[in-house]
C-alpha cells in the first residue's frame, strides 16, 4: 500500500469516527450534540458555510473513490505470476502468493525459527526470496541462515521447477524460548 493511500485511510477513518460519535450522541440524546447540531444547521443557512461543507463532502467522496479504486487495482508493473512450465500443450504459471506459502512452510519447519515473514519477488521467470526471521537465542546464526538458504532454494526449485536467483535471510531478532510453568507439586 502506498503512503498516500495510508494517509487517505487515516483521514477517512477520522471522519468516520467523528460521524459515528455524532450519531451515537444524537441517539442517546447528549445535550452537547443537539446544541452542536443546532449551531451547524443554523450555520448552513450561510451561503459560504454551505459551500465549505459541500467542498468537504466532495473531498471525502473523492478519498473514498480513490481508495476503492486502489483496492481493486492490480500492480501492473510487477508480474505476480512466475512461469513453471512451457510446453506445446500450453503454459503453466504459479502465483507469487502460492510460492510464498511454500517458502513460509519451509521456514516454519526449522525448529530454530520462532517467527518469520517471507517476501517473494519475480520477473516472470526467476524468483528472489527474502525471509525475515526471529531466531531462538543461543542458535548459531551463520549456521541457521545457511540452513535456511539451502532449504529454501532446494525445496522451491524441487517442488516448483522455478529457478531461484537469490535467497536473502535476515535474522531480525533473537528470542528466548518461553519457560515452561514449574509444577508446584511432584
Partner 1 sequence: MEYKPVNNANETGGKVVFAEDVVATIASLAASEVEGVYGMSGSTFEGLGEKLGKKNYTKGIKVEVGTVECAVDMTLIVKYGYRIQEVCQNVQQAVKNAIENMTGLNVVEVNISVNSVVFAEEKKVEEAPKPVEQPNRVK
Contact residues: partner 1, CB under 8 A: 81, 84-85, 87, 89-95, 97-98, 101-102, 105, 158-161
Element (H, E) at 108: helix 96-108
Least spacing, CB of residue 81 vs partner 1, in Å: 7
CB of 57 or CB of 85, closer to partner 1 = 85
Q: Classify residue 161 as left (phi > 0), alpha (psi -120 to 50) or beta.
A: left
CB of 54 or CB of 98, closer to partner 1 = 98
Least spacing, CB of residue 87 vs partner 1, in Å: 7
Cβ atoms of residues 26 and 37 within 8 Å: yes
Beta strands in 4-125 (DSSP E): 81-86, 91-95, 113-122
Whole-angstrom distance, CA of residue 25 vs CA of residue 31:
9
CB of 29 or CB of 111, closer to partner 1 = 111
Whole-angstrom distance, CA of residue 148 vs CA of residue 135:
11
CB of 12 or CB of 84, closer to partner 1 = 84
Least spacing, CB of residue 29 vs partner 1, in Å: 41
The helix-helix angle for 47-72 and 31-44 (nearest 10°) equals 110
Least spacing, CB of residue 78 vs partner 1, in Å: 17
CB of 43 or CB of 161, closer to partner 1 = 161
Least spacing, CB of residue 133 vs partner 1, in Å: 19
Whole-angstrom distance, CA of residue 160 vs CA of residue 84:
7
Amino acid at each position: 500500500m502506498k503512503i498516500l493511500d495510508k494517509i487517505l485511510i487515516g483521514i477517512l477513518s477520522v471522519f468516520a469516527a467523528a460521524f459515528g460519535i455524532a450519531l451515537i450522541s444524537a441517539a442517546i440524546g447528549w445535550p452537547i450534540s443537539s446544541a452542536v447540531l443546532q449551531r451547524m444547521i443554523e450555520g448552513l443557512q450561510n451561503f459560504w458555510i454551505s459551500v465549505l461543507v459541500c467542498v468537504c463532502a466532495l473531498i471525502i467522496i473523492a478519498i473514498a473513490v480513490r481508495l476503492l479504486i486502489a483496492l481493486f487495482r492490480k500492480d501492473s508493473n510487477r508480474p505476480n505470476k512466475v512461469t513453471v512450465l512451457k510446453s506445446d500443450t500450453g503454459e503453466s504459471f504459479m502465483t507469487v502468493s502460492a510460492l510464498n506459502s511454500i517458502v513460509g512452510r519451509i521456514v516454519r519447519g526449522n525448529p530454530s525459527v520462532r517467527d518469520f515473514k517471507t517476501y517473494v519477488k519475480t520477473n516472470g521467470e526467476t524468483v528472489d526470496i527474502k525471509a525475515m526471521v526471529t531466531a531462538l537465542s543461543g542458535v548459531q546464526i551463520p549456521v541457521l541462515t545457511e540452513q535456511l538458504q539451502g532449504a529454501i532454494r532446494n525445496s522451491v526449485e524441487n517442488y516448483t521447477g522455478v529457478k531461484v536467483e537469490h535467497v536473502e535471510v535476515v535474522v531480525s531478532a533473537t528470542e528466548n524460548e518461553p519457560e515452561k510453568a514449574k509444577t508446584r507439586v511432584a
